[in-house]
Structure 1
Amino acid sequence: MSGFKMEHKNPEGLFVSKAFSQAITVSGKAKTIYIGGQNATNSKGELIGAGDLELQTKQVLNNIATILASENASFVNLVKLNIYLLNGCDPRVGLKAFQEVAGLLDNPPLVTVLFVSGVGHPGCLLEIDGIAVIEDKD
């Protein structure tokens, strides 16, 4: 990350977590990747893991990984994730799946988790959107 600087900040007085950062600043020559809401469908539009939050989370994260890879990025480039979980779902299941797919990140992204009554695709238990940054080489 030589053309830009991404700093993960956990100011004194705030909780320090291995799952999320409190703030991130980006400066320099960077390209922003906005990731639209991803659900648990595969490339054929088929729902993966009906009724299973862990399997659905893994599919969503695989979709995000595909988007990131298409821009020569990975989970380390994530700045922000918004996670929309159906009411009654256990966020710890999703966190476990995230750690299995993305690994333990030294500098995790900012994370917001919201419980909702539904998402756009029937049968989906969650939807995740996000923002990532990479060096702008143009």
Structure 2
Amino acid sequence: MSTFTMGHINPEGLFRSEAFSQAITVTGRAKTIYIGGQNAINSKGELIGVGDLELQTKQALHNIKTILAAENASFADLVKLNIYLVSGSDPLVGYKAFQEMTGSLDNPPLVTVLFVSEFTSRPSCLLEIDGIAVIEGKD
């Protein structure tokens, strides 16, 4: 039996999307996983998909999936994602890659998308994603 409950809030009067929830509540004992900004750098330190937002999105999501799996979590446990895209990028390309990587989530996370001019540490990166996930904690 779970020691916490996660409620996905989409109140009447607000737009209801299949891609994101409006708010999420977490009640009870839980472990929160804060995921630092992930880009398209693989385990060897190589940038995957130079100039290709779809490939870069898939690599960043692969990195997030690896972090989640290390904590026995999955994309379904995500509460919040912040997605930073280089100006001029098409968010629909990233969304398509997200759908391919995660499948259809019954309760999608909160999502914020921001456009930035560039990533100074890796100018060839087209995106960075950070997030928060919640799973059952230990007693």
Instruction: Give your verdict on TM over 0.5.
Output: yes
Stretches of 4+ aligned residues off by more than 2 angstroms: none
TM-score between both structures, scaled by the size of structure 1: 0.98
CA shift, 1:137, in A, is: 1.5
Q: Which residue of structure 2 lines up, in the alignment, with residue 113 of structure 1? A: 113
Aligned to 1:27: 27
Deviations 1:29-86 (A, max 9, x none): 0000000000101000000000000000000000000000000000000000000000
Aligned residues: 138
> 1: distance between equivalents of 2:5 and 2:71?
18
Deviation at 1:3, TM superposition (A): 1.1
Letter in 1 for 2:43: S
Matches of 2:34 and 2:123, distance apart in 1: 24
RMSD: 0.8
Tell me the equivalent position of 2:100: 100
**1:69 is the counterpart of 2:65:** no
1:32-47 paired onto structure 2 within 5 Å: 32-47=32-47
- List alignment gaps of at least 5 residues for structure 1: none
Shift of 1:122: 2.0
Which shows bigger deviation, 67-76 or 118-127?
118-127
1:78 counterpart = 2:78: yes
| C-alpha separation in 1, matches of 2:137 and 2:6 | 13
CA displacement at 1:133 relative to structure 2: 0.3
| Displacement of 1:99 | 0.4
Letter in 1 for 2:4: F
